[in-house]
Amino acid sequence: MNWNWYTRVLLAVASGVLLALSFPNYNLSLLAWVAVGLLTLASYRATVSVALLCGVISGLVFYPLSVPWIDAVVRQYGGAGPWASAGILILVALTGGLYAVIFTIGVAMASRKELVLACVLAPFLWVAVEFLRANMAVIGFPWNLIGYAASKNLPLLQLTAITGIYGLSFVVAGFGAFVAYAILARSQRAWKSLMVTTAALILIALGGGYFIPRAAPRYLAHLVQTNFEEHYTYPNDWLQRHAPDMDAVHDISVNAAKAAPGLIVWPEVPAPFSFNDPNFAARAQKIARDAGSDFLVGIVDWRKDAAGKWFATNSATLLDPSGQRVFTYDKIHLVPFGEYVPFRQWLGFAGNLVADIGDFTPGHEYSVGKLPGGKFGVYICYEGVFPGFVRHFTAKDAQLLINISDDGWFGQSAAPAQHEMMERVRAVENRRWLLRDTNNGVTIDVDPYGRIVAEMPMNVRGQLDAPYAFESELTPYARFGNWFAWLCVIASIGLIGASIAGGGNKQTPISRQSARVKIHA
């Protein structure tokens, strides 16, 4: 089909819109299954310039629709004006569009040789681009990968234990490419094959849940949702001003552990919590001693380097029942424009955002702690959106995963639900119980197969009884990491190479038919 450029642009716009609508808070997840197909149609036999345009436009549509909360967060907590915050969001969208350009140009090149080649390439290349998006230094942002749109289906979700989220992305993108092929090939056989594939997916999605076992918990944790209001800066006497709130959270934690002994978990630091502050240190130690329980809490940890200069880490520390610090993990993957500013020297347009954000120092070790009964790995907030990050803890023998986060910065946007969606996949990839504790939601307990066992309402102060167990099985994904994503990278290179090899372009059945019509005419 030889569409004009603006028809292709409309298809790219539609692809970005449908993909955005697949995620919270729209939750029209079935739309993701055709989104890649529309972008494949837009790229089919397109010129390089038009393919580039379609890729950029799809990113400019998808990101502002799916992550508009970036603008709100930067304005509310970064002190940036509306133009600067919009500029950050557009920068994110343009970066995402450049990743999409790799897909559209690759498909366009392959389609000029053979329709089948282009449609076979599409899912491999889509996953390769998502993998690049997740692992690009500094600006990696694997938020809302297409596989997450299908992750609420429990049977399909189990694939991630083998391939990671990238296998689920491959299935969704592959189905879209199959739709594009059926449209372009105009073949009854292609449509019948598509119908059979659709029926098989529906059968798996609806009936596969009967074959998924249920994990049996043996221990109990108390996930405390502190529900403190976020502020960019805090006065030195914050603890004194909020003594009644701290007393209330103390009582919630201790009473829960006395009623049913178990680990107490507080979220990523939601206020000026630091053991350098003797008042907070005394409070935290008192909670552990009064409860007679282990206590995991998010803090800002101030230390001195070899030169005597102070630096801060975003950390999680474990106190034993006597109140002694026995384990600390320092956040490794920091949040750009939240915990540090990348390319600070070139972002003068961001004004207060660049001037005000102080840089945390990243940690370097995937530390694993010990609890009665087994070992655990704790990771903090944004780290959980990186598919290959969490498995490092499992590979180091973590038998339980704990995620502490403060999603209150996102307000009432779709971000907390999107974040929860991604964290749930980490439990299945690693076949571990996941205890997720946040400041104001979404606080959940997830079993190793992705079932939400317990969930706490958002924006309330309280605690969630979260059963769990320690698991030792290593999934293929936990053992071998992103092997499937690398396979897609290699396959993409090979298929693009095949499209370039041989020189001339091979005509598709459609183009041959058109040529015959012209000759007979």
Quote the percentage of the chain above a pLDDT of 90.
73
- Better-predicted residue by pLDDT, 235 or 204: 204
Question: Could you tell me the pTM of the whole model?
Answer: 0.91
312 to 231, 301, 309, 322, 350: CA distances (angstroms): 18, 5, 10, 26, 23
Query: Cβ-count burial of 2 within 10 angstroms (0-12 exposed, 13-18 middle, 19+ buried)?
Result: exposed
Mind listing the pLDDT tens digit for each residue in 13-70?
Answer: 999 999 999 999 999 999 999 999 999 999 999 999 999 999 999 999 999 999 988 8
Position 176 pLDDT exceeds 70: yes
> Whole-number mean pLDDT of the chain?
90
Position 415 pLDDT exceeds 60: yes
Under the banding of pLDDT at 50, 70 and 90, the label for residue 521 is very low
What pLDDT score does 502 carry? 58
Question: What is the dihedral angle through the alpha carbons of 289, 293, 299, 305, rounded to the nearest 10 degrees?
Answer: 80
As a whole number of angstroms, the distance between CA 381 and CA 223 comes to: 15
As a whole number of angstroms, the distance between CA 249 and CA 53 comes to: 53
475 to 70, 371, 444, 448: CA distances (angstroms): 34, 22, 22, 11
As a whole number of angstroms, the distance between CA 411 and CA 220 comes to: 30
What pLDDT score does 509 carry? 46
What's the distance, Cα to Cα, between the start and end of the chain in Å?
20
471 to 30, 219, 235, 293, 332: CA distances (angstroms): 33, 12, 43, 21, 24
State yes or no: is 370 an active-site residue: no
Lowest mean pLDDT among 65-74, 139-148, 372-381: 65-74
- Backbone torsions φ then ψ of 380, nearest 5 degrees: -115, 120
What pLDDT score does 455 carry? 97
Position 230 pLDDT exceeds 90: no
What pLDDT score does 426 carry? 97
State yes or no: is 331 an active-site residue: yes
Closest by alpha carbon to 50, among 5, 116, 83?
Answer: 5
Joined together, the tokens standing for residue 510 give 């459609």
SS (H, E, C) 206-266: HHHHHHCCCCCCCEEEEEEECCCCCCCCCCCCHHHHCHHHHHHHHHHHHHHHHHCCCEEEC
- Better-predicted residue by pLDDT, 408 or 387: 387
Are 245 and 271 in contact, with CB atoms under 8 Å apart?
no
The domains of the chain are located at 5-211+482-520, 219-479
What pLDDT score does 272 carry? 87
- Backbone torsions φ then ψ of 471, nearest 5 degrees: -120, 145
Position 516 pLDDT exceeds 50: no
Given the residues 114, 230, 339, 381, the one annotated as active site: 381
The amino acid that residue 433 corresponds to is: W
What pLDDT score does 77 carry? 61
Are 357 and 91 in contact, with CB atoms under 8 Å apart?
no
- Better-predicted residue by pLDDT, 80 or 154: 154
What pLDDT score does 429 carry? 98
Are 54 and 14 in contact, with CB atoms under 8 Å apart?
no
As a whole number of angstroms, the distance between CA 137 and CA 135 comes to: 6
Joined together, the tokens standing for residue 446 give 């997830």
State yes or no: is 473 an active-site residue: no
- For 296, what's the count of Cα atoms within 13 Å in the CB-facing half-sphere? 34
Under the banding of pLDDT at 50, 70 and 90, the label for residue 102 is very high
Joined together, the tokens standing for residue 439 give 């400041």
What pLDDT score does 454 carry? 97
Helix (H, G, I), strand (E, B) or coil at 404: strand
Mind listing the pLDDT tens digit for each residue in 247-303?
Answer: 999 999 999 999 999 999 999 988 889 999 999 999 999 999 999 999 999 999 999
DSSP 92-140: HHHHHHHHHHHHHHHHHHHHTT-HHHHHHHHHHHHHHHHHHHHHSTTT-
Mind listing the pLDDT tens digit for each residue in 330-368?
Answer: 999 888 766 777 666 565 544 455 444 557 889 999 999
Buried b (16+ CB within 10 A) or exposed e, 441-460: bbbbbbbbbbbebbbbebee
53 to 2, 49, 94, 101, 115: CA distances (angstroms): 17, 6, 11, 8, 21
CA–CA–CA angle 146, 151, 154 (5° rounding) = 155
Under the banding of pLDDT at 50, 70 and 90, the label for residue 149 is very high
What pLDDT score does 441 carry? 83
Given the residues 113, 130, 331, 339, the one annotated as active site: 331
CA–CA–CA angle 497, 498, 503 (5° rounding) = 95
Given the residues 130, 230, 268, 420, the one annotated as active site: 268
What pLDDT score does 212 carry? 94
With tokens 């939750």, the residue in question is: 27
Position 503 pLDDT exceeds 60: no
- Better-predicted residue by pLDDT, 436 or 413: 436
Ramachandran class of 378: left when φ > 0, alpha when ψ lies in -120 to 50, beta otherwise: beta
427 to 1, 160, 333, 450: CA distances (angstroms): 44, 10, 19, 6
**Domain 219-479 class in CATH:** alpha beta
Q: In angstroms, how far is CA 31 from the centroid of its own chain?
A: 19
Mind listing the pLDDT tens digit for each residue in 426-453?
Answer: 999 999 999 999 999 899 999 999 999 9
With tokens 């959270």, the residue in question is: 249
Taking residues 156-168, what's their average pLDDT?
A: 98
